[in-house]
Amino acid sequence: MATKLVDLVYWRNMRRTGVVFTGLVISLVSLFQLSAITVVSHICLGAMCVTFSLRLYYKLLELLRWNPGVHPFQSYLDYDSTLTDKETVMLVEEVVLLIAFAITEIKRLLFIDSMVDSIKFVVLLYLLTYVGVLTNGLTLVITAVIAVFSIPLLYKKQQVRTRRMVRTVKAFVKRIRNLCLSLYDSVRPSSAPEPAPKPAPASAPVPKQKAKSK
């Protein structure tokens, strides 16, 4: 499954990726004007118009003895898309682990387990309020689909230039951080020196006793 997705994203089969990408974008754009049920129904009807016409055509050829009874979609019918018991258990476990991880993270952020992470979450939510005003979720989904099908291919074509730009940006960020740290060190008040320990008072000399004369 993961290999097929990678093949689609990197356009290794141009025709298949083009059909999937075009279908996704057209379907999502259609949702602006129509409901999801209407879009799905029209897509299925359009697909069945094509498949039904081809099936009738091949059936007519079979009746005229011009076709040995080959089904035009036999390869799709023979493809086994069922899941075994092991694969089903693994898939359910992955979904449950993902949901449990998401719930744990949201609970940790909402109830301030870490101040820094919660502040980042608050900033993200605040920015999302502006994103929600400017656009809607469907537009973000369409943008994400276009990005998924374009950014990996663009990175593959311009890999050397992209890495060079990333190194330049990292060097610039590092230079700015070092400059800020040096400014902070120069402005930060130096800690007061510790008082030197007082010298111990010298002990008074012990007076010598005079020898008694016999």
Residue range 149-192, pLDDT digits in tens: 888 888 888 888 888 888 899 999 889 888 888 887 777 665 54
Mean pLDDT for the chain overall: 82
Task: Determine what percent of the chain is predicted with pLDDT higher than 70.
Answer: 86
Backbone angles phi, psi at 201, to 5 degrees: -60, 140
Number of structural domains in the chain: 1
C-alpha pair distances (Å), 8 with each of 16, 32, 57 = 7, 26, 31
What pLDDT is stored for residue 63 in this prediction? 84
pLDDT score of 102 more than 90? yes
| 183, part of any domain | no
| 139, part of any domain | no
pTM (2 d.p.): 0.57
What pLDDT is stored for residue 212 in this prediction? 47
| 130, part of any domain | yes
| 7, part of any domain | no
| 143, part of any domain | no
Query: For the segment 52-74, what is each residue's pLDDT rounded down to a tens digit?
Result: 999 998 888 888 877 777 788 88
Q: 135: helix, coil or strand?
A: coil
What pLDDT is stored for residue 70 in this prediction? 79
Mean per-residue pLDDT for 115-139?
86
Mean per-residue pLDDT for 80-87?
79
What pLDDT is stored for residue 196 in this prediction? 54
Query: For the segment 194-206, what is each residue's pLDDT rounded down to a tens digit?
Result: 555 555 555 555 5
Domain with 125, as residue range(s), is 83-134
Residue, of 98 and 4, whose pLDDT is higher: 98
What pLDDT is stored for residue 31 in this prediction? 85
| 176, part of any domain | no
| 70, part of any domain | no
pLDDT score of 210 more than 50? no
